[in-house]
Structure 1
Amino acid sequence: MAYWLFKTEPDAFSIDDLKHAANQTTIWEGVRNYQARNFMRDEVKEGDLVMIYHSSCKQVGVAGIATVTRDAYPDPSQFDLKSDYYDAKATAEKPRWFVVDVTYKQHLNKLVSLKAIKENNAITEIALKKGGRLSIMPVSQSDWSEIISMAN
C-alpha cells in the first residue's frame, strides 16, 4: 500500500461531495499534468490511501481520507467534446489521460493546514513543503502518520 495526496478545489469537488457521492465513490478526473498523470497511471493502485487536500480556498489543507478502489483506466472525459477536459489528441487506442476511482473513508477531526504542515519539522518529504504544486503527489509513511496525528 502507498500513500498519496490528491488536491482538489472544494468549490468544484470537496471531501463533503465525496462523502455524499453515490456509494461514496467517484472517478478522479481532470488531471492534466503529465507528472501527476504518470503517478496516477503507473503508481497509484487499488487499496492505496489518499489525503484529500483542499486548495485554492480560504482554508487550504488536508481535509479527509479516501481509498483508491479502482486502478488507473483511461479518463473518459478526454473523449467527450462537451467536457472541459476534452483532448483532441487523445484516442481510444492511445489515451493521454487516466483516472482512478476513490471512495470516501473519513473526514479528519480537523483540517491540517498547509501552514501547519510547513511548520512541522517532523514532516520532511512531502512536496508541499517545497512548494510542490502537483495535483497528485506521493506521501511517505512517516509524513502520512505525522499529518494524521496533527488532525487528532
Structure 2
Amino acid sequence: MDETIFARSLEDQLCFEVYKASNGFSRMYGRALKPFGLTFPQYLVLLALWDEDHVFIKNISDRIGMSIGTLNPILNRLKVQGWIEKVASDMDKRAVIVTLTEKSLQSKKAISKAILNEVKHCNMTDISNEAFTRGLKSLNNEFDKLEEKDH
C-alpha cells in the first residue's frame, strides 16, 4: 500500500466506507431490535450470553471488547428490562455472575428472525457472510496486535 491512498476523495477512502457500514449496521440492528426494547450493544451482550450463559462480567467484557465501565450500565438496563440476572459469586463476593432469564432464552428465535428480515431488506443475502467475516476478523486481529504493542 502506498501513500497515494491519502490523495483519494472522502468517498474513496476505506475508513469512510467502514465508518458508514458500521453506522448502517447499527441502524439496521436498531430497527430489528426496537420491538424488543433492545439496543445494539445490549444485543451483543445477549449474543455472548447465548453462547455461554452464567459467566462473570469480566468474561463478557473480554468477549465483546467493551470496558467494564461501559458494560455495567448496559447490564443494569438489561437487568431492569428482565433480560438478565446478576448475582454475586459464591467464591468471590466482589465478582458478579450474569445469567440469562427465561425471557431472553424464549426471545432468541424471534430476535434472530427480526434481524434476518432486516438483512434480507438490505439485499445482503448475496454477500458471502463467511468471506466477509473472515476478512473483518483478520483486520480486527491486526488492530488488536497494534493495540497490544501500545500497552
Scaled by the length of structure 2, the TM-score of the pair is 0.29
| Higher-RCO chain (CA-CA 8 Å, sequence separation at least 6) | 1
| Larger strand proportion of the pair | 1
| Larger helix proportion of the pair | 2
Larger Rg: 2
